[in-house]
Structure formats: C-alpha cells, structure tokens
Amino acid sequence: MSAKIIDGKAIAEEIRKEVKELTDNLKSSRGITPGLAFILVGNNPASELYVSSKAKACAEMGFYSITEKMPENTTESELLDRIKMFNNDSKIHGILVQLPLPKHINEIAVIECISPAKDVDGFTPVNVGRLVIGEKSFIPCTPGGIQVLIEKSGIDINGKHVVVIGRSNIVGKPVANLLLQKRKNANAIVTVAHTAARDISYFTRQADIIIAAMGKPEAITGEMLRPGVVVIDVGTNRILDPSKKSGYRLVGDVHFDSAKEVASAITPVPGGVGPMTIAMLMKNTYLAAAGEIY
C-alpha cells in the first residue's frame, strides 16, 4: 500500500482564491480593504524571508500591508508603543509580530499587547481562551490549516483517535483543543504526546490520525505506525545533504519514505502543511476586516 499524498499547495491555493473573491466583494460592497501590519525586530534572515513571503501573499490578495522593521536594540517599551499605534490604526485589521524576538524583549508581554480583535495569529490569551471553551475566535494559522487539510482531503475526524505529538503554544496545544471541540470537522478523541514519553510508538500505534509537531527530523518511522493511519507532518527541519546545491534538504518529523508505505494518507515536506499557514493568515485577516470574529 502506498499512501495518498495530501497536496497542501493545491488546497492552500483554493483557500487563497476564496479569500481573494471575498476581499474583492468586501472592497466593492463596503469599501473596506483588509490591512495587515508586520513588525520585524532585528536582522534574522529566516524571519525576514517569512515576512517577505507573507507580504507577497497580501499583495496577491489585494490587501494593504506594511512592514515595520525595527533594530535589534529596540526596547520592549518601544515595541509595545508601536503595537499600540497599530491597535489604534483603522487601516490595520491584523497585527503580526514576527517571532522569535531578541532575548531582552518579553514575548508574552508583546503578545498580550496586541488587540484580540487584531490578533490574526490567534496567540493572545483572549483568543486562546475562547478557542479552549469553544467560542468564536481567531484560530492559530497552522492548526487551522491542519483542520482544513484533513477536511478537504475527505477524511472524517468525528470519533477518531488523533494523536498530537508536540505541546507548543503555536501548534500542539491549539490543534488538540481545536479537534476535540464538539462540532463539524472535529469531535475527535485527542491524545497529546511529546518527547518526554518513554516510548512514543506506544501512542503512535494507537492513532487513526497523527499530527507530528515535535521538531525532530524523521523521528517517526513507518514501523511506529498503525496501517491505514493518516499522517499530518508539521515539522520543517534542515538536514545536511551534499547532493543538493544548498548543502541541505528539508524533511519533516516523519520519515516520509517508510511512513507512506503504511499510511493511508500523508502530507509531504515541503508542500504539505507549510503553504496552509500563510493561506489561513490571509483568511484570518479577511475575517478581521469583515468583523466576523469580533
């Protein structure tokens, strides 16, 4: 058996097309252009690349966007003042502070400063709390993208055993909370496992659906999976590969070649979950501009 490959690029393109149509209608019917502010502190090349790709997506959607670059020595107070400025800017509907931040800045204080109504990342305590209790909220982009990937691949989540491997605030915890909600495209039995487990395969062999977000390259192999499992691989890890011009290649947290011989469906890396994250950011920004969350 060889698994169905879940094409995240194609599904993300569907979402982006839908958002573009909704945005065009929002502009023509209500005169509102979704606006997204990116704040980048320091000179992290990876962060600059991420922000650039998100700004490009904004342009494709017809959004207004602004990228605020601040030096490495920016104080926490200066950063909070800039966030407050965007909180009060009517042209801006979403605020994204690119992480990680320099060590002298308190990440929690920064996230808490963002208005929940403009928190298109879904990271503020208000939106996290609303997600947990099942109220309408901004859903963090990667977990939201995972749910849409599963749904659009025709995979039924209801009553299935989902094993989430990882407990980060960005993926593990929110996706677990999202999929156990008593609603359509959720209602799963969710187990959260992580690297502290003595034998992670004890959990993976019980799963109908595995969401791997542990940040360890190719840690989950085919022999650790139950036949017919659905594998959603969130990991993006660089490993050395002299055969590549760059000297490295990207792999997930799952060993793709062995897992695809056991799974019924699997996301590749790259081209699986990654494209969905930006697509869902665009969707959240549209929802903020349209006033559909707050």
pLDDT tens, position by position, 226-251: 999 999 999 988 888 788 878 788 89
One domain for residues 82 and 159: no
Examine the domain organization and report whether 110 and 168 are in the same domain.
no
149 and 255 in a single domain? The answer is: yes
Which amino acid, residue 243? S
Q: Does 146 lie in the same domain as 225?
A: yes
Q: Which of 95, 128, 130 shows the shortest CA–CA distance to 113?
A: 95
Taken in order 111, 116, 120, 122, the sign of the CA dihedral is positive
Say whether both 89 and 185 belong to one domain: no
**Residue 131 included in any domain:** no
Question: CA–CA distance from 154 to each of 158, 185, 290 (Å)?
Answer: 12, 10, 29
Same domain, residue pair 90 and 148: no
Q: Residues 162, 167, 173, 178: what is their CA dihedral angle, to the nearest 10 degrees? A: -20
DSSP tag of 213? -
Q: Give the CATH number for residue 240.
A: 3.40.50.720
Please check whether residues 57 and 106 belong to one and the same domain: yes
Q: Are residues 145 and 263 in the same domain?
A: yes
Partnered with residue 270 across adjacent β-strands are none
Domain boundary among 67, 97, 115: 115
Q: Which residue type does 213 have?
A: A
Q: What is the pLDDT of residue 233?
A: 98
Q: Does a structural domain hold residue 92?
A: yes
Interatomic CA distance for residues 75 and 196, integer angstroms: 36
149 in a structural domain: yes
Beta-strand relationship, 265-266 and 4-5:
parallel
- The neighbour count for residue 231, using CB atoms within 10 Å, is 28
Q: Is residue 288 part of a domain?
A: no
Q: What is the pLDDT of residue 128?
A: 97
Angle between helix 172-179 and helix 141-152 axes, rounded to 10 deg? 50
Determine the angle formed by the axes of helices 141-152 and 8-30, rounding to 10 degrees: 110
Distance CA 289, CA 95 (A): 12
Q: Is residue 184 domain-resident? A: yes
Q: Are residues 101 and 183 in the same domain?
A: no
Residues 94 and 159 in one domain: no
Residue 89 maps to which CATH number? 3.40.50.10860
Q: Is residue 14 part of a domain?
A: no
* Low pLDDT (below 70) residues in the chain: 1
Residue 136 lies in a domain: no
209: tokens are 């659906």
Q: Which domain does 230 fall in, by range?
A: 141-274
Q: Return the active site residues.
A: 54, 98, 121
Distance CA 249, CA 241 (A): 6
pLDDT of residue 1: 61
Closest CA to 200 of 236, 157, 167: 167
- Please give the tally of structural domains in the chain: 2
DSSP letter for 98, please. P
6 is a domain residue? no
Instruction: Indicate if 190 and 239 belong to the same structural domain.
Output: yes
What pLDDT shows up at residue 33? 98
Neighbours of 11 (CB within 10 A): 20
184 Cβ contact partners less than 8 Å away, ≥ 6 residues apart: none
> Alpha-carbon distance 133 to 157, whole Å?
19
The confidence score (pLDDT) of residue 163 equals: 98
Question: 36 with 95, same domain?
Answer: yes
What are the φ and ψ backbone dihedral angles of 275, each rounded to 5 degrees?
-60, -25
Task: Tell me which residue of 188, 162, 253, 259 sits closest to 215, measured CA to CA.
Answer: 253
Rounded CA-CA distance 58/228 in Å is 38
